[in-house]
Amino acid sequence: MRDPFSIAGKFKPPSQHFDVVVVGAGSAGAAAATRAAKNGDRVLLVDENPLSPGLIGLDVPLFFGGRATAAVQNKGRMLEQVIAANPLIEAAFEAGVEVMLGTTVWGAFVNGPGLAALPTPMVGLADDERSWLCGFDRLVVASGARDLVLSFKGWDQPGVMGANAMHALLTRYHAFAGRSIVILGSGALALSTALLAIERGLRVAAIVEVRDRLQGPAHLVERVLAEGVPAYTSHVVAETHGGLDGVERILLAPTNDPDAPRVEIACDTICQAIGLVSAIELLAVLGAALMYDPARGGHVPVIAGSGQTSLPGVSAFGDCAGVAADDPDYGLDWMRALIAASGPDVIVCQCESVSRAALLGVKHPAYLGAVSKGMARRDIASLREDGPINQDQVKRLTRTGMGPCQGRRCREQAAMMLALSTGDRLADIPLASYRAPVRPLPLGVLADADEAPEMEAGWDVWFGIPTQWIPYAEIDTDREALQLAALSVGEQV
Ligand SMILES: Cc1cc2nc3c(=O)[nH]c(=O)nc-3n(C[C@H](O)[C@H](O)[C@H](O)COP(=O)(O)OP(=O)(O)OC[C@H]3O[C@@H](n4cnc5c(N)ncnc54)[C@H](O)[C@@H]3O)c2cc1C
């Protein structure tokens, strides 16, 4: 007889199982999958590309900024492009790896504190039509990196995007819609982006740098300048203007003289190439130990030996294990200059329309209506009197990071603003938590993955708080007493 008060043994077993599951078919993941297959393991390699046009429109998982062409609507063509762009995928396939493209890993779970009843470690997978669970013995996370993006006046219009997203549209999809680009930042990422764009026949209208000299390696600086790209050092974005199709002009202000005349440059795309952020969301959901390491680009997994995370059987390779960041203060220098150049009304969280003022005033977004007297008195300074600033708490109070892009456009800059406004070190602002699903999923896709009947039958008993688990529809009806009697707690109520 199964104990009705226990969930043990009531999880449905996963519908598939592999010795090794690899998340991400970039260079790191495809190589790891091939190596494991050659060692005789049964390997599944999963990658979300080609992405659905809907996700690209939501800026998930990269900040595409509305600059993908209509080619992304054609799934067959996109699939061919994704395979052609990375020969390592075909090599993995030939080595016997099961390759699933167009498939998202929306969660990953191992037994641990707060979760002790899984029949086996498993990942949650979903494609356009369905969701299912897949068990594994070992998991390799090779989920890459996304762009560090910062706010300025007009950054919420089409045409403002990230460098990694531009790289993906140019090399993986051949579906970039811009012609004339202004690049923010001048490190190796920015200079390589400029050279890639020029190689693809695009015009790089300017490189903008807040510091007083270009930051990247000399050989890249030389090549970019030799191409005739104008470089504006000690300049920052003051504002941008656009029309129906998005960005048309950018206005730059000197960082050392805000009243000096602005430099106006015509462009259809503003590419943020200030830095990259490791895509650690699955590692965070798994409960792997994370650390703040500025030299590796911020919050990254704790790694011992060859990719080994703190969780047995889970390793991390490639950009998700850390990205090169020569100077940890570079992003902060940009953020400071952007705040100085444009006012408090600039939107920080595009999904929830939270302004800089609302974030630092700890106010909910205007669309939710009036602010009470108590809320009006509250701000970051008063919140800090109650204890260290916690980004999760600020998120709940302001909704910054709660929209469909899942904080990919605002998470880092919100942490930076909290640090700059309180004087705390960025390292001391705790990482805002990640939760599964780590990608937005239509409910229709999740609906079929229903739980087992044994699980369903236990809902109103297994937490052992009977009064809380009387089915809602039966409260205040004759059946409430029957429920209590069935739970044998009538006397306690
Ligand atoms: C402009 C530019 C120029 C560059 N030039 C060079 C160069 O010349 N030489 C060089 O060595 N490097 C270069 N790089 C860097 C190089 O592209 C990256 O270091 C490399 O791609 C990282 O590989 P990766 O496998 O770690 O991640 P990626 O190649 O980013 O692969 C990760 C994959 O995982 C997928 N993924 C993530 N999460 C999930 C999930 N939950 N479910 C399903 N799939 C998921 C992602 O969509 C992605 O396809 C350049 C980068 C840029 C932006």
Mutate to test the pocket of ligand 1, among 27, 45, 52, 189 (most ligand atoms within 8 A of CB): 27
Closest to 470 (Cα-Cα) out of 487, 449, 445, 488: 487
CA 476, CA 333: separation in Å to the nearest integer? 60
Q: Is 279 in the pocket of ligand 1 (CB under 6 A)?
A: yes
CA nearest ligand 1 atom 5, residue: 192
pLDDT of residue 451: 82
- Is the CB of 142 inside a 6 Å radius of any atom of ligand 1? yes
* pLDDT for the residue numbered 490: 47
With a 6 Å cutoff on the Cβ, whether 318 touches ligand 1 is: yes
* Contact call for residues 223 and 231 (beta carbons, < 8 A): no
* Cα–Cα distances in angstroms (integers) from residue 61 to residues 51, 64, 484, in the given order: 9, 9, 47
Specify whether the CB–CB gap between 265 and 240 falls below 8 A. Answer: no
> For residue 422, what pLDDT is reported?
93
Residue nearest to atom 22 of ligand 1 (CA): 319
Q: Evaluate: CB of 47 within 6 angstroms of ligand 1.
A: yes
Return the pLDDT at 327.
Answer: 86
Question: What is the 3-state secondary structure of 122-187?
Answer: EEEEECCCCEEEEEEEEEEECCCEEECCCCCCCCCCCCEEEHHHHHHHHHHCCCECCCEEEEECCC
The pTM (predicted TM-score) of the whole model is: 0.93
Confirm if 12 and 452 have CB atoms less than 8 A apart: yes
CA distance 320 to 24: 10
Q: Is 22 helix (H, G, I), strand (E, B) or coil?
A: strand
Pick from 457, 452, 334, 348: which is nearest to 398 by CA?
Answer: 348
Look at the block and give the residue holding tokens 């998700």.
320
Ligand 1 centre from 443 Cα, in Å? 29
Whether residue 104 has its Cβ less than 6 Å from ligand 1: yes
CB 196 near ligand 1, within 6 Å: yes
467 contacts: CB under 8 Å, gap ≥ 6: 484, 489, 493
Ligand 1 mean position, distance from CA 281 (Å): 15
Structure tokens at 215: 């930051």
Are residues 425 and 419 in contact, defined by beta-carbon separation less than 8 angstroms? Answer: yes
User: Phi, psi at residue 181, to the nearest 5°?
Assistant: -120, 135
Each residue's pLDDT expressed in tens, for the chain with a length of 493 residues? 567 677 778 888 899 999 999 999 999 999 999 999 999 999 999 999 999 999 999 999 999 999 999 999 999 999 999 999 999 999 999 999 999 999 999 999 999 888 888 999 999 999 999 999 999 999 999 999 999 999 999 999 999 999 999 999 999 999 999 999 999 999 999 999 999 999 999 999 999 999 999 999 999 999 999 999 999 999 999 999 999 999 999 999 999 887 889 999 999 999 999 999 999 999 999 999 999 999 999 999 999 989 999 999 999 999 999 998 878 899 999 999 999 999 899 999 999 999 999 999 999 988 898 888 888 899 999 999 988 999 999 999 999 999 999 999 999 999 999 999 999 999 999 999 999 999 999 989 988 777 888 888 777 666 666 566 677 788 888 888 887 787 665 454 4
Q: Is 278 in the pocket of ligand 1 (CB under 6 A)?
A: no
| 65 in contact with ligand 1, CB cutoff 6 A | no
